[in-house]
Amino acid sequence: MHTSTWRMSAVAAAVAAALATGATGANATTYHQRIDFPATGARLDCGAAALTVTGGRLIGEFNESTDGAGLFHYEGTNVASDVTARDQFGASYRIVGTSSFSGVSVDAAGISNVRWRSRVKFTVLRADGGQFGSVSTIERLTGSGLVSLNLGSCAASGGGGD
């Protein structure tokens, strides 16, 4: 299973910020946060090419609410903004796209998820604008377990969010 390093960073940052501000306490019913962090340092493996992100940002929106039964509902979206990369041969690329996630949890930290789904779709473009590759995953967690599909030609290999 390939997990987007960027998405995990955004989820962790949003949940940590929500807990730090007390927004997920028993009296809270809604919470919203905008997240903006550097994408520099993230790495993608695209077959024979190993790409390292050299610039740009990920802009995220995180929303959480608590329903009458005390369940935490959360969702978020991350958008690549001016993200650039280079491969080991020096070729330049742009990365465009989004990732989104949503879920329901019995606890504020999102540890005991009842449901979870995420979709990641980032496209790697060559300098001439043509598509070079993509990071494309779909994950879904239900009572039956986790289903994860990797539909892209590239995969996150670590780094990111310096």
> Residue 78 is part of which domain span?
5-158
Query: Percent helix, strand, coil in the chain (nearest 5)?
Result: 10, 60, 30
Q: How many domains does the chain divide into? A: 1
How far apart are the C-alpha atoms of 52 and 42, rounded to whole Å? Answer: 6
pLDDT at residue 80, as a whole number: 96
Regarding pTM above 0.75, the answer is no
Closest CA to 74 of 104, 52, 54: 104
Assigned token pair, 22: 């007390």
pLDDT per residue of the chain (162 residues) written in tens, 0 to 9 = 333 444 444 444 444 444 334 444 445 578 899 999 999 999 999 999 999 999 999 999 999 998 888 888 989 999 999 999 999 999 999 999 999 999 888 776 666 777 889 999 999 999 999 999 999 999 998 777 888 888 899 987 765 544
Count of residues making up the chain? 162
pLDDT at 43: 93
> How far is the C-alpha of 127 from the C-alpha of 148, rounded, in Å?
31
End-to-end CA distance of the chain: 24
- Asked if residue 4 lies in contact with residue 120, where contact means CB atoms within 8 angstroms, the answer is yes
